[in-house]
């Protein structure tokens, strides 16, 4: 299937008054399809795909995302092991490799297009009170549609996992696996903190080549109010920093690009099948051993159910939404919920519980002067895009404003531990209402082009917990029901407001005043009844215009056997089922402080080693 962005022509024909429904915006969509829809990958070229496919594999990996691609690479290092990687999505298009097009990936054909169920305390101004939850349906998974930010988390995140009874998951235990993946190409970063960084790994980490003109203004403003410049992946965790990205030479480094492309046509023992939708784990009812999977090739005309068998293990790497869904479809999950659907219970576990995420919100805006603006018309953006295809080194190699800040509010008691992350994103501020409403047409604007800025305070330590369950109408093919329950714990709202009060200090800095950076003080449409900048106003904004930060975790929780909510043990083996593991962000008992892509890759690296040690006596 060829990649397509959101179909704004259809939406605009239904409602021509939508902001951004202009001929130039619609024409830009056609341009993207013409120049960026194809893929450089051709995994069917692997001879094993069609001619030498074995009847049985050693390992079957379900999901070619942030974790699955890593596991496939590491296990296929053992030449006599046969590995099958099944991915429901397509191969990665050029559009996804392009940093500026991050926002365009949402609602495109490589996005699962999930929405939350109607929420009481969040997402209230969106249609049916539901938030969009973009998830990558493509090789590389959500590492193919995220904002490319490389952040590992705080040491106490992992120490806390260990304190909960997860042996081998302390920071000291996991740091070598962060370093194992890393190929850090900014020598000053490595030289400053050589004990925390590495070169030579599969995953390239570096600064994007495009230097946004307002980056230093923001960095210096944080310095002016007392936040020093840090390396968040070393030993300091409160401060401001320039973002390192999972990128290479101006292009995205998804886990597909980093871990699969370099090896796919060299390792004959690895078979990758895209558009392969797994519907069930085959489990022996007598031994409770996972033997294989059932799947359907959705690009095939017959759509017959196929089976693949694993001599050693089945590894589920579908992510925090699809991994619990597949377990429940296979009879592993909450007994009461599966009984409602007539699914035979194999193991009663708390699958789908403990869902949490890093929420943020739209509408905290900055007016900037004309000198600082980068907005261009679509004709200029087309020319820049064509030039990018030749050089990978212009404005199209940029993404979000490449600076983040970690701050600590009064609601976080552990010393030097952030509970709020702040990111800046460009937007067309004259079209802010379409931006706040989430109009697909407004998302066609590549991120480095803007006339104003959106401040995104992100809650790093949410207390609220949600859950995922199967869709009763069509459990297999319909999306699962997602209940994030954002802000059910009122302290989550209080922490974000405390963060906002710290951010507000930026507008009193000399550098903001000198460069004309001013708070946009027109209230957002759903919050006009509140006085601007009061706590009630911010609470309204947060709960009306909630957004995910693309970081759902926890739905197949790792924990000791005595934990009633644990689904997997510290080796990520599913309790009560032999030869079955879950390896992805769903196993996190508590979310890490920062973007979750790097920790997910670490999880995959660590468990790949565990698998090798278990099956190879002499593996070092």
418 pLDDT higher than 90? yes
Question: 19: exposed, middle or buried (C-beta count within 10 Å: 0-12, 13-18, 19+)?
Answer: middle
Question: Pick the catalytic residue: 197, 237, 392, 551?
Answer: 551
Residue bearing the bigger pLDDT, 16 or 391: 391
The pLDDT of 554-566, averaged and rounded, is 98
Give pLDDT, residue 50: 42
6 pLDDT higher than 70? yes
Give pLDDT, residue 438: 56
In terms of phi and psi (left: phi > 0; alpha: psi -120 to 50; beta: otherwise), the region of 352 is left
Give pLDDT, residue 47: 39
From residue 464, alpha-carbon distances to 411, 488, 555, 591 in Å are 14, 6, 14, 12
Question: Contact at 8 Å (CB) between 404 and 471?
Answer: no
The pLDDT of 430-437, averaged and rounded, is 67
443 pLDDT higher than 80? no
Residue bearing the bigger pLDDT, 27 or 115: 115
Q: If pLDDT is split at 50, 70 and 90, which confidence band does 368 have?
A: very high
Give pLDDT, residue 23: 79
Give pLDDT, residue 391: 97
Q: If pLDDT is split at 50, 70 and 90, which confidence band does 303 have?
A: confident
Q: How far apart are the first and last CA of the chain?
A: 42
Report d(CA 425, CA 288) in Å as an integer: 49
238 pLDDT higher than 90? yes
Which of 239, 227, 247, 258 is closest to 65 using CA atoms?
258
Question: Which stretch of 288-292, 299-303, 309-313 has the lowest confidence by average pLDDT?
Answer: 299-303
Concatenated DSSP letters of 576-592: T-BTEEE-SGGG-SS--
Give pLDDT, residue 445: 87
pLDDT tens digit sequence for 276-299: 999 999 999 999 999 999 999 999
Report d(CA 227, CA 211) in Å as an integer: 22
Which of 250, 282, 248 is closest to 262 using CA atoms?
248
The pLDDT of 552-574, averaged and rounded, is 98
Q: What are the structure tokens assigned to 212, written together?
A: 């946004």
Question: Which stretch of 12-16, 324-328, 361-365 has the lowest confidence by average pLDDT?
Answer: 12-16
**Phi and psi of 611, rounded to 5°?**
-65, -45
pLDDT tens digit sequence for 39-61: 989 876 443 444 456 779 999 99
Q: Residue 345 carries which DSSP code?
A: P
Beta-sheet pairing, 332-333 with 347-348: parallel
Give pLDDT, residue 42: 84
Sketch out the chain's domains with CATH numbers. 57-92+141-184+252-355+551-620 (3.50.50.60), 99-108+119-137+185-195+213-243+358-548 (3.30.560.10)
**Phi and psi of 252, rounded to 5°?**
-60, 145
Which of 189, 115, 92 is closest to 150 using CA atoms?
189
Which of 2, 218, 165, 153 is closest to 598 using CA atoms?
153
Q: How many other CB atoms are found less than 10 A from the CB of residue 423?
A: 21
From residue 444, alpha-carbon distances to 24, 192, 279, 377 in Å are 11, 39, 34, 12
Give pLDDT, residue 48: 41
Mean pLDDT, the chain, integer: 94
574 Cβ neighbours under 8 A, 6+ residues apart: 327, 332, 347, 349, 556, 567, 568, 580, 581, 582
pLDDT tens digit sequence for 326-342: 999 999 999 999 999 99
Q: If pLDDT is split at 50, 70 and 90, which confidence band does 537 have?
A: very high
* Annotation says 356 is catalytic: no
SS3 helix, strand, coil % of the chain, rounded to 5?
Answer: 35, 20, 45
**pLDDT-above-70 percentage for the chain:** 94
DSSP three-state, residue 279: strand
Give pLDDT, residue 543: 98
Give pLDDT, residue 46: 44
Report d(CA 493, CA 480) in Å as an integer: 27
Question: Contact at 8 Å (CB) between 546 and 131?
Answer: yes
Give pLDDT, residue 125: 93
8 Cβ neighbours under 8 A, 6+ residues apart: 20, 21, 25, 26, 29, 440, 441, 444
Report d(CA 21, CA 387) in Å as an integer: 26
**pLDDT-above-90 percentage for the chain:** 88
DSSP three-state, residue 316: strand
Give pLDDT, residue 302: 82
Q: Which residue has the tokens 């930060």?
A: 549
Beta-sheet pairing, 403-407 with 420-427: antiparallel
Binding site for FAD: which residues? 138, 278
Give pLDDT, residue 49: 46
Outline where 275-423 has alpha helix (H).
319-329, 335-340, 378-391
């Amino acid at each position: 299937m060829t990649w397509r962005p959101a179909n704004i022509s259809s939406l605009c024909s239904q409602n021509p008054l939508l902001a951004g429904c202009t001929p130039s915006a619609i024409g830009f969509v056609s341009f993207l399809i013409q120049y960026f829809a194809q893929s450089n990958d051709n995994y069917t070229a692997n001879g094993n795909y069609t001619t030498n496919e074995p009847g049985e594999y050693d390992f079957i990996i379900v999901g070619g995302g942030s974790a699955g691609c890593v596991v496939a690479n590491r296990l296929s290092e053992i030449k006599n092991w046969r590995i099958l990687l099944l991915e429901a999505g397509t191969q990665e298009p050029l559009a996804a490799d392009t940093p500026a097009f991050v926002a365009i990936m949402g609602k495109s054909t490589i996005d699962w297009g999930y929405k939350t169920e109607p929420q009481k305390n969040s997402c209230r101004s969106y249609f049916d009170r539901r938030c969009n939850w973009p998830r990558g349906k493509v090789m590389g998974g959500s590492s193919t549609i995220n904002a490319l930010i490389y952040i590992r988390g705080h040491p106490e995140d992992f120490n806390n996992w260990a304190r909960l009874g997860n042996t081998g998951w302390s920071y000291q235990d996991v740091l070598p696996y962060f370093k194992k993946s890393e190929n850090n190409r900014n020598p000053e970063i490595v030289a400053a903190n050589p004990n925390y960084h590495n070169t030579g790994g599969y995953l390239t980490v570096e600064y994007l080549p495009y230097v946004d003109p307002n980056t230093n203004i923001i960095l210096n403003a944080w310095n002016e109010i007392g936040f020093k410049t840090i390396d968040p992946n070393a030993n300091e965790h409160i401060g401001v920093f320039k973002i390192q990205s999972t990128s290479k030479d101006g292009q995205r480094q998804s886990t597909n690009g980093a871990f699969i492309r370099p090896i796919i046509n060299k390792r004959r023992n690895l078979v990758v099948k895209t558009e392969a939708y797994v519907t069930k784990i085959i489990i022996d009812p007598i031994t409770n051993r996972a033997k294989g999977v059932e799947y359907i090739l959705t690009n095939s005309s017959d759509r017959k159910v196929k089976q693949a068998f694993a001599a050693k293990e089945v590894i589920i790497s579908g992510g925090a939404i699809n991994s619990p869904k597949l377990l429940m479809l296979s009879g592993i999950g909450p007994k009461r919920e599966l009984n409602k659907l007539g699914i035979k219970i194999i193991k009663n576990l708390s699958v789908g519980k403990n869902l949490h995420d890093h929420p943020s919100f739209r509408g905290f805006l900055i007016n900037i002067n004309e000198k600082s603006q980068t907005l261009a018309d679509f004709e200029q953006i087309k020319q820049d895009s064509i030039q990018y295809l030749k050089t990978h080194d212009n404005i199209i190699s940029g993404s979000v404003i490449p600076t983040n800040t970690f701050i600590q509010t009064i609601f976080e008691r552990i010393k030097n531990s952030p509970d709020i992350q702040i990111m800046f994103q460009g937007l067309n501020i004259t079209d802010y209402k379409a931006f706040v409403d989430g109009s697909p047409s407004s998302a066609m604007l590549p991120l480095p082009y803007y006339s104003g800025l959106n401040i995104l305070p992100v809650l790093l330590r949410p207390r609220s917990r949600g859950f995922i369950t199967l869709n009763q109408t069509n459990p297999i093919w319909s999306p699962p029901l997602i209940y994030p329950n954002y802000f059910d714990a009122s302290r989550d709202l209080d922490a974000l407001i405390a963060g906002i009060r710290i951010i507000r200090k930026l507008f009193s800095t000399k550098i903001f005043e000198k460069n004309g950076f001013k708070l946009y003080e027109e209230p957002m449409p759903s919050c006009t009844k509140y006085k601007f900048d009061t706590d009630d106003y911010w609470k309204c904004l947060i709960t009306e215009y909630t957004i995910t930060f693309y970081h759902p975790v926890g739905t197949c929780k790792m924990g000791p056997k005595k934990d009633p909510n644990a689904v997997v043990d510290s080796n990520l083996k599913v309790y009560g089922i032999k030869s079955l593991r879950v390896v992805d962000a769903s196993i996190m008992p508590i979310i890490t402080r920062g973007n979750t892509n790097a920790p997910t890759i670490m999880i995959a690296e660590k468990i790949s080693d565990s698998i090798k040690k278990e099956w190879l006596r002499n593996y070092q």
